[in-house]
A and B are shown apart, each in its own frame.
Chain A
Amino acid sequence: MIFSRRQLIMGLIWGPLLASGRSFGDLFNRRPLVVPRMTIMGASSCLGYVKAVLPQWERQYGPVHVAVSGGGSYAGLRALATGQVDIALADVMPPPGYIGVPVRRYVLGRLPIVIVAHQGVGVKQIACDQTRQLFHGTITNWRDVGGNNLPVVVVSRPLSSGAREVVQTRLMGRSQFSAHSIIQLSNGAVIKTVADTPGAIGYVEAVMPLWRVQIMAVGNRAKPPEKASNRKLYAEPAVYIRRETRALVISLAEYLANDPRRPRFGIYPLGSEEGSPC
């Protein structure tokens, strides 16, 4: 045997390390960087859109490589502030002083937020106050709002969610979500939980097909507005870049903010209706 077992093991450990070190060295020392690189990070609700339209921009601007990752709005904004990324995607308004560096903001449009319930709740329309009380846990049975005899199960999102921030500020006001609400980390998980749990009510950003759930009409409307852009509960996802940045980054931010394919991914141009849904 040419190598001992120990030599083989050490080779397996160090080989890849040395190989990656060499290619890393090549990248920075031997070969000049000919392909400009950029990084985008932030709200997962916008990732589908960004990933879909990015290849066209990359082709248009020649050899450029853009890496896209999620992590949430706050993480994206923080990474922009520290210079780790070139572009942040956020569907929350950052608290004052959160970013800490001068930035430019490009609004992508409106991302409707929809109140959804389990298909067996027995009602399709609820008043704003009722919605608040359902989310707060004051109303504990659907019978109390004219529905079936089913206990109410609230499904919500974590504090980092843009959808939660919108529902909290524009619908709930000072009321808090029920202390027994189920917290799910994604829109998909909310839809699955609401669809599978009798009596469940939740809210989602309408970036995906809403199947197996009841879309609720909230307020005085008999049914949810036909035009998604007219819904009054919406997040305003935006692209953030540093004020002093490369021309290429500005170009990409403007491209993302103006591409006409946004409605296909649930992001609609700013509509005419303003104000609170209630």
Chain B
Amino acid sequence: MLKIDKAMDQVTYVSMALFAAIWIVLIAIIVSGAWHFVQTHGFVSSVASFQWDPLQSHFGIGSFIVGSITVTLLALVLAIPGSLALGVLGSRILQGKWQQQFVRFLTVFVSVPSVLYGWWGLTVVVPGIRRLSHTSGYGPLSASIVLALMIVPTFSILSLNALRHVPESYIEGSIGLGASEDQTLWHIILPAARPRIVQAALIAVARGLGETIAVQMVIGGQVRITSLLHPASTLTTQLLTDLPLLPVGVPGHHVLDFMALWLLILMTVIVWLQYRLRGSGT
């Protein structure tokens, strides 16, 4: 048995090394391609430019960066109230079996494939926005609403866990001093859980930033962002759209590496923020 354990130890180390090596190779491919692109076309001129026409060697990705950040932040803003409300409902109001069933219910929604959210967006959100705004209905606002709905279950479950971690003694102390349930929630529970809730929000943001299909189905795919109500693109949706146009080996393909690198950079910033904000938790 000891021999098997030792062998398994070695297999574990090899697996870890293999895993790390695969990731390093993947990132190296993207960084190398992006570096090649930056050397040819320049960093600032590509990021600051909004002109995208790869067949004419115009590689301005500014519009896609703005699109990604806008759609994700707007989705977060739309998701925060509902997610926190569901978190409070699941952690403080529902008890016992009801609480368990509620968590299961949210978990089911976490596992719904994103294409179904996109389909829902196409059949409900886009016509709704069209009716209200008298535009086509496709655009960053529709994408944000779909994305908000997608991240609400994840955000809610993580918020629910954050609220559960607030020590009972804090709550009992607050009630004991004469505070009402609402006062305790606003002034004790939510502030105490804030670092974990912020973490939850960042995890939700990371999911939103990387989402492609659901956003692609409702954002409209136009290469220049002009308003929340007109078609636009994000980094991920434009990567998807232009992969057939710029396959490996074609001049201009490396702009896709550069866009992928931007996604990695934005994701890294989110992870960094998450670690920074975790330090002050309860």
A interface residues with partner B (beta carbon < 8 Å): 4, 6-7, 10, 13-14, 71-75, 78-79, 81-82, 98, 151, 153, 158-160, 179-185, 192-193, 196-198, 200
CA gap between A69 and B247 in the complex, in Å: 14
Q: Is the CB of B230 within 8 A of A180?
A: yes
Contacts of B221 in A (CB 8 A): 158, 182-185
Given contacts A158-B221, A179-B222, A197-B130, contact A72 B8 (CB under 8 A): no
Contact with A along B1-42 (1 / 0, CB 8 A): 000110010011001000000000000000000000000000
Contacts of A179 in B (CB 8 A): 222, 224, 226
Q: Is the CB of B11 within 8 A of A14?
A: yes
Which residue of the partner chain B has the closest CB to A97?
B251
Selected from A72, A82, A98, A153, the residue in CB contact (under 8 A) with B136 is A153
Instruction: Determine whether B243 belongs to the interface, using a CB cutoff of 8 Å to chain A.
Output: yes
Contact with A along B217-243 (1 / 0, CB 8 A): 000111110100011000000001111
Which residue of the partner chain B has the closest CB to A200?
B136
Task: Sample 27 A-B pairs with CB under 8 A, ordered by A number.
Answer: A7-B4, A10-B8, A10-B12, A10-B15, A14-B15, A72-B243, A72-B247, A74-B250, A75-B247, A79-B247, A81-B249, A98-B250, A151-B135, A159-B53, A159-B55, A160-B244, A179-B224, A180-B136, A181-B222, A182-B136, A182-B222, A183-B223, A183-B231, A184-B221, A192-B122, A196-B127, A197-B130
Q: Is the CB of B130 within 8 A of A74?
A: no
Given contacts A78-B250, A183-B221, contact A6 B244 (CB under 8 A): no
Q: Is the CB of B242 within 8 A of A160?
A: yes
Which residue of the partner chain A has the closest CB to B14?
A14
CA gap between A145 and B221 in the complex, in Å: 27
Instruction: Determine whether B248 belongs to the interface, using a CB cutoff of 8 Å to chain A.
Output: yes
B interface residues with partner A (beta carbon < 8 Å): 4-5, 8, 11-12, 15, 53-55, 122, 126-127, 130, 134-138, 216, 220-224, 226, 230-231, 240-250
Q: Is the CB of B11 within 8 A of A74?
A: no
Contacts of A79 in B (CB 8 A): 247
Contacts of B54 in A (CB 8 A): 159
CA gap between A193 and B220 in the complex, in Å: 10
CA gap between A75 and B249 in the complex, in Å: 10
CA gap between A7 and B249 in the complex, in Å: 43
CA gap between A225 and B12 in the complex, in Å: 68
Contacts of B248 in A (CB 8 A): 78
CA gap between A3 and B206 in the complex, in Å: 37
Q: Is the CB of B216 within 8 A of A185?
A: yes
CA gap between A158 and B241 in the complex, in Å: 7
Contacts of B53 in A (CB 8 A): 159
CA gap between A159 and B138 in the complex, in Å: 19
Contacts of B246 in A (CB 8 A): 74
Selected from A72, A180, A197, the residue in CB contact (under 8 A) with B222 is A180
Which residue of the partner chain B has the closest CB to A176?
B53
CA gap between A73 and B216 in the complex, in Å: 21
Contacts of B241 in A (CB 8 A): 158, 160, 183, 185
CB distance from B129 to the nearest CB of A (A): 11
Contacts of A75 in B (CB 8 A): 243-244, 247
11 more contacts with CB within 8 A, not counting A159-B245, A183-B220, A197-B130, are A4-B5, A6-B12, A72-B244, A73-B244, A78-B249, A98-B250, A153-B136, A158-B241, A160-B241, A182-B231, A200-B136
CA gap between A118 and B27 in the complex, in Å: 46
CB distance from A188 to the nearest CB of B (A): 12
Contacts of A73 in B (CB 8 A): 244
Which residue of the partner chain A has the closest CB to B5?
A4
Selected from A71, A151, A180, A184, the residue in CB contact (under 8 A) with B226 is A180
CB distance from A133 to the nearest CB of B (A): 18
CA gap between A22 and B53 in the complex, in Å: 46
Contacts of A184 in B (CB 8 A): 221
Which residue of the partner chain A has the closest CB to B244?
A72
CB distance from B115 to the nearest CB of A (A): 13
Q: Is the CB of A71 within 8 A of B8?
A: no
Given contacts A180-B231, A185-B216, contact A82 B249 (CB under 8 A): yes
Q: Is the CB of B222 within 8 A of A183?
A: yes
Which residue of the partner chain B has the closest CB to A158?
B241
CA gap between A181 and B231 in the complex, in Å: 7
CB distance from A179 to the nearest CB of B (A): 6
Q: Which of A98, A153, A182 has the most CB atoms of chain B within a 10 A radius of its CB?
A: A182
Selected from A10, A159, A180, A196, the residue in CB contact (under 8 A) with B242 is A159
- In the A-B complex, list the 7 residue pairs whose CB atoms are closest, starting with the nearest: A72-B244, A183-B221, A160-B245, A75-B247, A160-B244, A78-B247, A153-B136
CA gap between A79 and B249 in the complex, in Å: 9
Which residue of the partner chain A has the closest CB to B55?
A159
Selected from B11, B138, B224, B249, the residue in CB contact (under 8 A) with A10 is B11
CA gap between A78 and B251 in the complex, in Å: 11
Q: Which of B55, B130, B231, B240 has the most CB atoms of chain A within a 10 A radius of its CB?
A: B231
Contacts of A13 in B (CB 8 A): 15
Which residue of the partner chain A has the closest CB to B245?
A160
Selected from B5, B15, B137, B250, the residue in CB contact (under 8 A) with A197 is B137
